[in-house]
Structure 1
Amino acid sequence: MRTTRHTPESAIHRPESVLATNKVLRNTYALLSMTLVWAAAVAGVAMMLNLPHPGMLITLAGFFGLLFLTHKTADSAWGLLSVFAFTGFLGYTAGPIVNAYVSGLSNGTELVMLALGGTGAIFLGLSGYVLTTRKDFSFMGGFLMVGILTAFLAGIAAVVFSMPALSLAVSAMFVLLMSALILFETSRIVHGGETNYIRATVTLFVSIYNLFLSLLQLLGFAND
């Protein structure tokens, strides 16, 4: 006589961890962790050597050039080398900026640590929300493209025409836009919209990088 084994109802409906089932997400977070440590190390060296900021033109050329290279090589082994070149360059550009706050303000170190803590809290909070709820934020794609382009052009105008008020507004815009980009990209990975972990890492890294610098500028303004 054959007996039938019944699976507990709780086991049937128990959701599996997104990290446990999504290989792209695991690889993205692993590579993102390594690139963040690498960029921080490069920034630290730039600060110790008191290296000057490369300037807006070199920064833009390096950013878009290495970003293009990373996306072109993302499907090959060269993609890993490209992503470390890209994130290392951004780490170098951040070093002189952080150095200016640390050396120029009496509480500069505290402001930098506060910006780092705020960036980490925002990233973990938003990522955790998407991973827990599995909500689809793909509808934000068009809004993000227009918003980031607008903020980018406004940021250039603020630098060229020396407009501190506009620069402050751009920083506030970038905090909101980068937070939304974290939601958007994490959602794409979870729902299969992004299947390349190198491209996903670059998007999340740029979000964290811009979020940190924007928070730092806002905190510096509040301190003044």
Structure 2
Amino acid sequence: MNYSTTYSSSPIAKLTTTFFLALAVATGGLYIGQWIPIGMYLPLTILEIILLMVMVFARSKKAVGYPLMYSFMLVSGATLYPLIGHYVAIIGAEAVLKAFALAVISFSGVAIYAVKTKEDFSFLGGFLTLGAFALLGLLIIQWFIPFSSVGQMGISALGILIFLGFTIYDMNRLARHGFTEADIPMVVVNIYLDFINLFIYILRFFSSDED
């Protein structure tokens, strides 16, 4: 593995700094979310999806810039507010904090393992994509046919496994193949989405007996 051109200390330091700045922007969006009218959350969610799709399209052209990334993080943070509020109402603030701590610990653990190991997890890509589509299908079915608490717990467990898998896949790919400074905005978004989705499915798991 050649670190000299794509995985030097400068991109790593810039990635780390950018990631924490992006988290700060998302946290700011979460704080702002408490003053956003309920009727605005659907348009904001649609905007979040559009921004993500634009980034995915622009990624192939190496055109994902920092303004686009920070815009996505701000909107994403704002749309998280009603979701977090929903789970606070169901399971309580203490349980939400425990879920967050568990997400941080598990995410950090698998990310460190993925970076340090000599194993190549690139084979997981196809399985994880299929798993994500299967998870989406189950969520759509649940919308029309509510599952039992056991069924909801099973979906949540599947979501946790899938996004832990994406964390291993993404971090291992970065460690093995490196990245350039131009890749940093999209890398930050990928890592953020891995963590946030892991957190959300841990929350769903905790609340399975309450729904």
The gaps in structure 2 that reach 5 residues or longer are: none
Q: Whose radius of gyration is greater, 1 or 2?
A: 1
Are the equivalent residues in 1 in contact too, given 2:19–2:188 (CA < 8 A)?
Answer: yes
Aligned-pair distance for 1:213? Answer: 0.9
Matched residues in 1 for 2:187 and 2:56: separation? 10
Are the equivalent residues in 2 in contact too, given 1:134–1:187 (CA < 8 A)?
Answer: no
Structure 1 residue aligned with 2:175: 190
Q: Does 1:84 align with 2:101?
A: no
Q: What is the identity, as a one-letter code, of the residue corresponding to 2:26?
A: A
Structure 1's 27 and 115: CA in aligned 2 closer, same or farther, altered over 3 A?
Answer: same
**1:98-124 CA distance string (max 9 Å, x none):** 11232x24x611011111101110111
Aligned-pair distance for 1:140? Answer: 0.5
Q: Does 1:54 align with 2:41?
A: yes
Structure 1's 91 and 167: CA in aligned 2 closer, same or farther, altered over 3 A?
Answer: farther
Matched residues in 2 for 1:22 and 1:170: separation? 40
Q: With the length of structure 1 as denominator, give the TM-score of the two structures.
A: 0.77
Are the equivalent residues in 1 in contact too, given 2:114–2:168 (CA < 8 A)?
Answer: yes
Are the equivalent residues in 2 in contact too, given 1:179–1:211 (CA < 8 A)?
Answer: yes
RMSD, matched Cα = 2.7
Aligned-pair distance for 1:89? Answer: 2.0
Matched residues in 2 for 1:42 and 1:171: separation? 26
Structure 2 residue aligned with 1:127: 111
- Matched positions, count: 200
The gaps in structure 1 that reach 5 residues or longer are: 1-15
1:140 to 124, 128, 131: 124
Aligned-pair distance for 1:96? Answer: 0.5
Structure 1 residue aligned with 2:142: 158
Are the equivalent residues in 1 in contact too, given 2:135–2:159 (CA < 8 A)?
Answer: yes
Higher relative contact order (CA 8 A, sep 6+): 2
Matched residues in 2 for 1:163 and 1:128: separation? 35
Structure 2 residue aligned with 1:12: none
Are the equivalent residues in 1 in contact too, given 2:29–2:73 (CA < 8 A)?
Answer: no
Which segment drifts farther, 90-99 or 188-197?
188-197
Aligned-pair distance for 1:50? Answer: 6.6
Are the equivalent residues in 1 in contact too, given 2:44–2:79 (CA < 8 A)?
Answer: no
Structure 1's 42 and 119: CA in aligned 2 closer, same or farther, altered over 3 A?
Answer: same
Matched residues in 2 for 1:23 and 1:222: separation? 47
Structure 1's 65 and 167: CA in aligned 2 closer, same or farther, altered over 3 A?
Answer: farther
Aligned-pair distance for 1:164? Answer: 5.1
Are the equivalent residues in 2 in contact too, given 1:73–1:79 (CA < 8 A)?
Answer: no
Structure 1 residue aligned with 2:95: 111
Q: What is the identity, as a one-letter code, of the residue corresponding to 2:68?
A: S
Q: With the length of structure 2 as denominator, give the TM-score of the two structures.
A: 0.81
